Amino acid sequence: MRRPTRRRHTFGVLAGVVLLTLAGVGAPAAAGQPGPACSDRPATTAALHDLTGTHRLVGAAIEVSGPGCGRWSAASGRADLRTGRPMRVDERIRIGSSTKAFTATVVLQLVAEGQLVLDAAIERYLPGRVRGNGYDGRRITVRDLLRHTSGLPDHVDALDWDRVDRWRYRHFAPAELIAMALAQPPPTTNWHYSTTNYVLAGLIVEQVTGRDISVEITRRIIGPLGLRDTYWPGDSVRIRGPHPRGYALAGAEGRRDVTEFDMSYGGAGGALVSTLADQNRFFAALLDGRLLDPVRLAEMTHTVPTDPDRLWPDARYGLGIISTPLAGCGGALYWGHGGTTPGFRTLGGVTADGRRAQLVVNDEPASYESWQALSTTLHTALCEAR
C-alpha cells in the first residue's frame, strides 16, 4: 500500500517503460458548482490534461473546494478503455493507504476514551503476536505503529507482484500478513513505511472494542460524517456502484484491467472504497476537529522525517497523516494522505485555511516523471485561485 519509487514499481515495471498510446483522450471537462473565485482554474485544468495527454495515463479526476471558492471538479481521459466511457469525478474508487488515516483516527478516539494508551507496548494488547526473527512487540508502542517507527518490514513487499493473478482473488488473514512481514529482514532506516503496522493497529482496535476495525470505522467515521459512498469491501473483489476501471502496466502484456481485487491484503492499512467528495469531507472534518479533540489532533499532527524513497520528498509523517510543503504557495502545508492499489492512485489533503483537493488516476504511473506530475497537479489545485 505504498507508493512505487523510481527504483521499484508495484507491478515490477521499471521507470522508463514505453507507455501505450491512448486513442481519443479528450480535454478535461469541468463540473460542479464553483464560487466566484473559482469559476475557472486554467492551470489545474492544464495539469490534469497533462496526466492523460503527456503522461498517457488512462483517466484522471479531481475535486477542489474551499472558503470563497465553492466546489470545482474536472475529469480527463477514460474511465473504461473497452467502451471509451469518459472519466467522471463522482464515481467510487479504491483509496488504498488513505485508509490509514481512518484507522489512526479510530485508535486516537479510543485513546481519548481511555481504552488505549498510545505509548503502551503493543504486547499489552497483542501478547506474543510480534515475536521472533529479532522482532519484539514489547519494544514497539502503539504510537510506533501509527507513525511507522516500529522497525517492522512491510508484508506488501513480500507479495509476488510479478504474478499478481495467482493471489489477487484470495483472502489474506491478518495473522498471515503479519507472518509474511516478520519473515523478512529488518529495515535499514529508522522510519520505514509499512502497511503491516496498520494491520496490527486494526487488531488492537478489535482487541479493545470486541469489534472489527471495519465496524469501528463505519460507526465512528463513515456514519457520523454521512460518507454515503465510502465502505469497507471485505472479500468482495468488485467495487459497488458506478466506478472507473482500474489499469496497470504489466511488462509485455501492456496495460491490464485490474479493477477486481480482494483488498484483504491491505486490510486496516488499505482496503477502503470511497469517492473524491467523501475524501474531501473526511479530511476537512478530521483537521477541523470534528473527529478528534485538540489534544489527540495535536498528537496526530506531530510529525517525524520520512524516507523519500518510500514516500515523497519533504513529506513528514504524523499518526496516519502526512504533511507536505506546497510548491508555489509561500511555504504553506497540506495535510492528507495518498494511496496506491492495483489500478488506482489517489492523492489529496487540506490546507490550514480550509482549501482541499482530492485527485485520482485509474492507472499505474510507469515513470518517476508521471508520479511527479500527480504531485504537481495536486499542488496546482491547492494553490490556484488562493
* Annotation marks residue 194 as catalytic: no
Catalytic residue among 65, 73, 97, 98: 97
Distances, alpha carbon 101 to alpha carbons 95, 321, 337, in Å: 11, 6, 7
C-alpha cell of 151?
Answer: 522497525
Q: Are 332 and 351 in contact (CB under 8 A)?
A: yes
The four Cα atoms 125, 298, 229, 77 give a dihedral, to 10 degrees, of -120
Contact between 293 and 281 under an 8 Å Cβ cutoff? The reply is no
Annotated catalytic residues are: 97
